[in-house]
A and B are shown apart, each in its own frame.
Chain A
Amino acid sequence: MTHNSLSADLLEQLIKAATKASTTREAIAALTELNTAEAVVWLITNEATARAQCAPRDLAELLDVVVKAGLAGRAGTRAGDLAKLVARYADLAHADTLATVANSLPAVLRNEELVGAVHKTLEREPRHAGLLRVALDHALRKKEMFEAHRLLTRLGRADDSQATLHFIWRKRSVLKPTDRPPVRIALMSSFTIDPLVHYLDLECRAIELEPEIYVTPFNSWAQEIIAETSGLRKFNPEIAFLSVSIDDLVGDLGGLISGDQLEEAGEAAVDRILVAAKQFAEWSDAALVVHSLLSVHREPLGILADRGKPGRAAWLERLNARLADELQKLPRAYVLDMTDVLLRRKGGALDNPKMRHMAAMRLCGPVVGDVARAYTHYIAPIKGLTRKCVVLDLDNTLWGGIVGEDGPHGIRLGGTSPGSEYQEFQRYLLSLTDRGFLLALISKNNPDDALEVIRSHEGMILREDAFSALRINWRPKPENMIGIAEELNIGVDSLIFLDDNPHERELMRQVLPDVLTPDLPADPSLYKATVEALPQLQKLAITEEDRTRTQMYQAKRQREQTRVSAGSLEDYLKSLDITVTIGQVDEASLPRVHQLFQRTNQFNLTTRRYAIADLEAIAGDRGCRLYTLRARDRFGDHGLVATALVRSEADTWRVDSFLMSCRVIGYGVETALLATVGEDARAAGAEKLIGEYIETAKNAPARDFYSRHGFSDLGTEDGVTQWVASLTDANQTLPAWIRREVA
């Protein structure tokens, strides 16, 4: 008699014998009690019977019981059999059951079948931490490094406990780094900040950076800033965060302190931070972000606080106001408002008193993830990750319901819920245009339906003039996305796509992975918070161009319409009345020039990303000229749209960088700038003008710049092509349709 039929017999006997066992399910349960090993084998060999006779949910429960009994070591159950069992029933087994079995086996003993079942189940439950760990072990064993990185990031999202984040960080430290842009971050603190390293590492990777994080030794933040040979100076960060607790600087806040003492100690604490910040700015060009001050101690007088004399809260507010005022005077210092972080925190209490005492940890647990996410709001713009345009869906994204079905009066949009959620979201989106972001629309709708709402629904905040491009049709959204990128003359990697429909999001991610497509929550009241949390919507400064960008693109749309009615291209350009103002960079224009250097990809001859400190040095260098060009026409002011960095050598002027905003491509303003550079060089006695060109994946529009201005190719070395033009014959002249003013 085979093992198989023995078990089947046994099962049948059990069904008959056990008075309560009237179903197969109960019989298997009874068998498990009696002989777990038999039950496991029976379930493996009689899969069809088991599936036919038990509801999937019952079978899942049973598997869990069998597995737990098996792992408890009953009656010689073999681990291999349990693995086979859960793999066989992976489609219906609880994810926990599968994870429990897999984790009970050493990584080397998990076979392909089991790992395959884990991956299948992860499709069903993408955030199951236990299964993610199994998949990770497998990827590490197979040396699939990118897969391992990806799984580690997913695990951090699935389980944000401090222990798991530490585990993830340790695992990463043995992996090869990714080829993503590196970022050097320094953490300086008056307390144990180690968990923040682990959380920040994850958040930097989530925005596709490869972080390198330096932590100043325990409580030596001030010494590290001052000492000329410190590890901090050697590390030379691009951005530094200073988290000093007022509780570490004013030692006895837990007790009663007289008002005068409190004032004095508080001011002294702020002085210490400010001195350090100023010293830091003296030797470092890095951005410095300082935590606002918080105390874990409550008002010792309890609810009597603020009766008759200023309490702790008012005292801290004053200190923070002074801190912010003084830091503002430094060129690259920012205050991170900790109350703002705490207001939005997802991860529990900030203060864990036990860990504060045991490990000098003032930030503990998942809330550290909130702090790390706040940090990325500074890191992203510094690394040039800021996007340019937010592309929005309409139905269920900007209003509730579907206009094509519910009608313009049936959609939810107004001052009360349901509907006020969408209005709040629209107000926030409108505020983005004040910070220089563009908005665009892609909607699958009949244009008349959608436009009627946009133009005349009284609840609508975003009217037609808020959008720089519209695609209301039934085409696939990725196709419309490319159309928008072309119309606005920006790359798809400058776009963010917001759509309530997960399928549209998935399609966009697959077809255009460079578009940032974040998940939107199902609840519209969380839309605003979700989008606000994107680091790619942060800017370090707002320029005049930012404030008026939407109007500029609108004027561009009008120009395009003129173009259709004008005859030849030159007639069209003449009809625009283009005036350029060319000058040298000054203090006021430097931030915009820096922005152009950071963000221009297409019409950029060398794509050298100078930091603001580099540009400051260049502006002060007598051997260099940093040109600026402003342009305006009869439809409006383009603002500062082009810049050129020219280095003068004996008889040669060398154009190190030449870049122009893509929104003025095609008007000939680059020719006006080059002509001016040529004239200045000639006036200074130079004989030759040399231009450099470095090809990138994106700067094709600039490739023929020097050749079409009469330069000759001197050859390419290390990726740099040199072009030369003699200045004796004036071959760079101003286009006939451009009027030039000198600043």
Chain B
Amino acid sequence: MSLPAAIRKFWRSTAPRTQSDVEDEFRSTLEAYQQDLIRQGLPEEEARRTARIALGRPGAQNETYRDAIGLRIFDELGGDVRYGLRALRRNPGFATVAVLSLAIGIGATTAMFSLIYAVLLHPFPYVGADRIMNPVIIDQQRPDEPRWFPLSEAQFDALRAAAPVDSALGFNNARMEITGGALPEDVSGIYITENAGTFFGVRPLLGRDIEPSDAENGGQSVVVLNYHFWQRHFGGDAGVIGQTLEIDHAPYIIVGVMPRSFAFNDTNGIGDVYLPGSLMRGLFNVSYMSYIPWIKLRPHVTLAAADAALEPIVRQFAQQHPERFPDHWSLALQPIIVPYEQETGRTLALLLAGVVLLLMIGCANCSILLLARGRTRRHELAIRAAIGASRWRIIRQLLVEAIVISCSGAVLGVAASYWLARVPLLLSPDSFPAESFIRINADILAFSIGLALLCGILFGLAPALRLSRDDSARVLPGRQIGIAAVQAKHRWSALIAAQVALTLLLMATAGTAIGSFLRLLEMPLGYDPVNVIQVGVKLHTQDPDEWSRIRTREARVAYVEQIRGKIASVPGVSTVAIATDATPPNAGTENGFDIEGSGVHEEPARVILVGEKYFAALRVPLLQGRMWSADENARGDFIAVVNRAFATRYLSWSNVLGRRLRIPGLTSKNRYQATSMQSNAWREIIGVAGDARNDGVDRPVAPAIYVPYTAVMLPYAQFLVRSEGDPLAYLPSIRAAVASAASDQQISNSAFNGTFTLNEAIERDAQYSRQRLFSILFGVFSFMALALALVGIFSVVAYSVAQRTMEFGVRLALGAPRAHVLWVAARIALVSAAAGIVVGLALDGFLGALLAHWMQNVFATGSVFVAAALLSFSALIACLLPARHAISVAPAEALRHE
């Protein structure tokens, strides 16, 4: 059944008989009675009249019918709604302002709710997502940094069989290449255990999940695609199922495409392609099966109970592989939402508070407008009361009119929220789970409808109560209300004060957010990010021939130096430095170290692997000593440079050069890494560099040790390229230069060791993007709030001046000074605004402390006073502009006014 048909059916069931049916019947009764009367001897006209007097008009009968079957309330409400709509049409200025005030508030609140819904309430598409846990190891020396841990197949099975575990998923991320095309394409692959389909419970968009049967014969060569990869690589072609995809020179059959909301996983990178885990056994590059587990607890198992049950099992694993575990650790099961809940939850709560303030200001504005307009409607309402409308009936009518306004606002607002909700995701993409995908659904619609009704009642109630109380006897006799009107307007003064106070709060918060963001921008970075781009290159580990050529450290160093030379020869490129995971604002990895003569240091320092041109490319000043030479760089051992923070913290400033230090952890047995002969032996400090951000844009520079990148060669390399002008413009030539170094060597586009400018790296910083998000959104919120509050003040003064034209005429005629009249006209609004500012200042003092606590960083202060000054000035203008009309009244004209 179609929707209109369903509605018609429902409508008919509420009123089974049509109007004409009811009227026909009534007419037949009327005629029968009339005939009777004629038969009794009355003349025809007389009989008609008598019958109608006795029975009533046929036209009114349908109303009787609907009343009798209980539909009257709907008819009346329908009438009220129609009347409300007509009133809005008649008064387009009022309607626009009122509807927009609410549309802004409801739109922003709905957007924020849908964001919270998508990000915090239902971020993951998995079945039982709230029971899915990430088991992490908490190192007691570094409790802030939980670590994932890999399991062997047997260990994974042991964990899966544990009592509190419902099911477990094992996975392992791997860099892969799509081969067979003109150029290989770098992709992120994830091997997952074959129970993935049932574990996730997510229906594939096309085809099927990875299934248990895929484990047969050492793993079937099948692949399931991620939605975004499918879009990027296949242009969303629905015919891919059954096609062959060549990964690392082996054919795989595409069996499924996952839906857009599926972006497994957040633990260590989203996969482009998902492969059966059993395939890992046959791969030459995986020495043992290792799985990172996600476990789904049985329903009603508490976290503490599960922790206690699983810890002994993991203790056994630690005995088998002590090298994979820190010395002192404990196990914790972390719900998969946890990494987002802490930071993002706060961000969203703060933004939600902002939009709720905006909504309240919008509601206050509507109340003020209704009260102000209500004064012109007193006459109409008095007539309604006089002809028998009860007070409740009038309140109901006014409320329905308010709800008409709020629902119109909600329609606009919900439409806008669809786009508004995306704004935070665009401004701060890394703060939200990749799976969160904004859509308007039934829950969100219900929320906004509820919100609209609530707002309508909230802002409609005060005016309705106020206006319905007017005594018709007092209002009706004449319209000489001029001077008597003075007492009634204190009601909106409280609303104006509230509105101004809330606006001030929002403005102060915006000022604080913008101030902190500006301060973040002004903080010295210690390096120059302008015109520098990082170019990532992934070496060919998967192709046995290619790999054997660059397997040794020396061959690999020569290879990456060759690429460096090619890039450096691109015209317009001034400096090229090689660096390994050393791209600021986050550089290096934490490592313990010893300084000769002062023993072992408990705290770790950042160890940053770089080439000899690093400081030149980033324009980091060298404060003492020298940078190592190209030859020393190739050797990799015996030398190091430290940063200023390291020198001042661990050494005396005058006695740095020549001291020796050692990084015991600077070594590796990983088959893809190659270390120099004595990478973890003593190194002489030959220079001190200036402090460049290495721990995020907002945190102090961590003590750092710079070591030649050749000490530990990884299967990838990054080049920091400084160019003249926009580095992105040079990207095609850089790409060509890299490709010329070796056949099918190309630059990487993955998220971390891919290609991006250093300014992009800053923008991607979590704190930076969060602060930018707050500055922009709160800036917009407070601008809207200010506009709303000014409109409120303006309309109150304008209405009251219009109402009191005669009073002002009389005052002027009696010789009142113009300044006095101006004061009289604007007084109440001005006083209310001033009261609002005082209240706002007090509230802000209280709130500021709360905010500083929440945002966990130093806040710019004093913005509240700037905001208060700005608000006072604008409020004054908003009062005086309409008040001017009061003194421009010609006395004679004013007296004719009513």
**Co-complex (A, B):** no
Measuring CB to CB, which residues of chain A are less than 8 angstroms from any residue of chain B?
Answer: none
